[in-house]
Amino acid sequence: MTQSPANWYPDPLGRHELRYWDGAQWTEHVSSHGRQGIDPPVGGGHVPTVDRATDKIQRDVAKAGVQAGAAQGGGSIFSEPVLVVNQKAKLIEINNEYAVYDQHGHQIGAVRQVGQSALKKAARLLTSYDQFMTHKLQVVDSDGRVILGLTRPAKFMKSRVIVTDSVGAEVGQIVQQNVFGKIRFALESGGRQWGSINAENWRAWNFNIADHTGTEVARITKTWEGLAKTMFTTADNYVVQIHRPLEDPLRSLVVAAALAVDTALKQDQRGFN
């Protein structure tokens, strides 16, 4: 941020949508859903973690048909060829949190929800109308630094996700194409389509991600979280395989979609997003 001019940027602490940077330091001025407030910039950025053993993460990788170590990465969300996404198990989802691991079980990032008011949390607790609410998430690295922002506006039939970069500039959008049948999404940026996300069955269990030529560049494989979690919690686990290095904006759109596929892209069969 030392090179960034004074402006509103994604809150690095993850407590609000935006925090004001005065050109030299973060200030106490914050904003969520267009409402400004005061919150001193103390404490570290929240990085969600999930109590999942390394051997279980490696089993998830194997279940997805991936040979761990066959392709090596650079240790970050944007440079690893395999990402393992584990959602924190909760009876009712009122604050979406995911931990992101590499293929060897090392946590390299997370997804956290930001900007929720107490009223919205209460509404999520008491109702199952999650899809009609706007959701904002941040993808962060292992130190809590914001990598991407995701905004899924309230939806009625079709979802749309706005993807922003680390300073809040729009990268592109993920736009639902159909309502019935195998769900599909377009990856759009700068007035053109860069690729698509395609469910491989009507339950949207697994997805393939293709570029604009129809060539598969990534794959999302959901791994079964166990009978108890499936019946009584909203937890989801899945493995993301990125077949080759990608350039932006496709890279950011693919990673954004993959890391929040359940929250940002599809309505959960149990009535929650």
Residues 86 and 131 in one domain: yes
Q: What is the pLDDT of residues 252-270, one digit of tens each?
A: 999 998 887 766 554 444 3
Q: What is the CATH number of the domain that holds 174?
A: 2.40.160.200
In-domain check, residue 273: no
Cis peptide before 12 (omega within 30 of 0): no
What is the pLDDT, as a whole number, of residue 68? Answer: 79
In-domain check, residue 140: yes
Q: Does the pLDDT at position 46 exceed 50? A: yes
Query: Which CA distances in Å does 262 have to 32, 42, 256, 270?
Result: 23, 31, 11, 12
Domain of residue 22: give its range.
7-38
Q: Does the pLDDT at position 166 exceed 90? A: yes
Q: Does the pLDDT at position 30 exceed 90? A: yes
Residues 100 and 226 in one domain: yes
What pTM was computed for the model? 0.86
Residues 169 and 199 in one domain: yes
Average pLDDT over residues 229-240: 62
Residues 204 and 138 in one domain: yes
Residues 25 and 74 in one domain: no
DSSP string spanning 153-215? ---SSS-EEEEE-TTS-EEEEEEE--SSSS-EEEEEETTEEEEEEEESSTT--SEEEEETTS-
74, 56 in Cβ contact below 8 A? no
Residues 120 and 96 in one domain: yes
Average pLDDT over residues 180-184: 88
* CA triple 246-84-135, angle to 5 deg: 80
Number of domains in the chain: 2
Residues 26 and 112 in one domain: no
Residue type present at position 185: F
Residues 79 and 17 in one domain: no
Type and span of the H or E element at 101: strand 97-101
